[in-house]
Amino acid sequence: DDKLEAARTELTAVAGTITPDILADPVKAQKFIAGRPDTLAMFDNGVFLFSPAGKLIGGIPVEPHMVDRGYSDREYFKKTMATLKPQISEPFLSVQTHQPPVVAVTAPIFDAGGEITAILAGGIDLMKDNFLGRLASIRLGENGYLYLYNTSRLIIVHPDRERILKRDLLPGVNRLFDKAIEGFEGTGETITSKGLHSIGSFKRLKSTGWILAANFPESEAYAPVHRAKRHLLMALTVALIGSVLAVWLFMKHLTAPLLSFTSQIRELTGKKDSQARIRVETSDETGMLAEAFNAMLAELELHKKELQKQLGFSQLLIDTIPNPVYYKDAEGKYLGGNKAFKEYTGMPMDQIVGKSVL
């Protein structure tokens, strides 16, 4: 936008230095234009001077068929004459032999009385490496690009040079393209004429009303997001595995004393070693339980010894009885007897106990 305004300002300034004698002499006019290399560099399709009737007074470059041709039918010429103001034209095909697509910038020249005496025009070739043509070579990421079009749907600049000066994008194909023509400015998701899902941005130029657009494929635009999502999922997976492992190790550490306690109790079951004790090297609740269990074992051992003494004393008493004495359980099975009973049966006591009939 600034460069278009700068081109218009440059041409207006040059037009202000053209004197009536230059307009009256085509040779002087040609020499004047040739002496403006900066202006010729900016307007790479050429700089031309027209009379109010649309006749070519001079210009660079000029081809033979251009000399006698009238230019009053050109839209840029008619608009300049009508408004008496500098103009930036809509793109059109030049009359030059190779017919490049160009944009014309014009500046009216006035005499002392304010009457228009000539029009200075400069052409910008949309196919060349200038500030407009370079838009087509700008890349956004790997496959994103810029393009320029007007409100009549005419493509002005596009990476696909075959589309320049064409209206090949029908209404309804690209939603944001249509909205931008209606006045929308901004960014959103859309589908291009090629069916590509992309992020489209649109901005209207103040100098011409043209629309500068950018297409950036969604696959590229969201690639960092998808990549971050994958990395996050991987990190969460690793964190989950790490957490599970940490919890497992922590629980293993917490339950190790209890498992050891349970295992030692199983080993004690059926052992005849009355002095065996539970060993748990921890000071937590499991350690306290082991201490209480060991105290209970010690107390049971004392009761067992006391009971064995009483049983031994009772057996000694019944052994002194000369008559056979025995005792049974509720099911009639022998539980024991005295010496006289063993002698009576003629069997050792361990063969008698548990039997109901001898």
Domain ranges of the chain: 2-125, 133-221, 223-298, 299-352
With 80 as the cut, is the pLDDT of residue 11 above it? yes
With 90 as the cut, is the pLDDT of residue 207 above it? yes
Same fold, 2-125 and 133-221: yes
**Confidence band of 211 (pLDDT split at 50, 70, 90):** very high
**Fold of the CATH domain 133-221:** Beta-Lactamase (3.30.450)
Residue-averaged pLDDT of the chain = 89
Q: Distance between CA 243 and CA 246 in Å, rounded?
A: 5
Residue of higher predicted confidence among 313 and 7: 7
- Beta strand ranges found along the chain (DSSP E): 46-50, 56-60, 87-88, 92-93, 101-110, 116-125, 139-140, 144-149, 155-157, 186-191, 197-204, 211-217, 326-328, 334-337
What distance separates the 2 farthest-apart alpha carbons in the chain? 169
pLDDT digits (tens, 9 = 90+) for 140-183: 988 999 999 999 999 999 999 999 999 999 999 999 999 999 99
With 80 as the cut, is the pLDDT of residue 291 above it? no
Q: Residue 249 CA to chain centroid, in angstroms? A: 36
Give me the pLDDT at residue 74, please: 96
pLDDT digits (tens, 9 = 90+) for 128-137: 999 999 999 9
**Fold of the CATH domain 2-125:** Beta-Lactamase (3.30.450)
Q: How far is CA 232 from CA 106, 220, 242, in A?
A: 58, 19, 15
**Confidence band of 319 (pLDDT split at 50, 70, 90):** confident
Q: How far is CA 205 from CA 5, 83, 185, 192, 309, in A?
A: 10, 20, 11, 21, 114
**Confidence band of 270 (pLDDT split at 50, 70, 90):** low
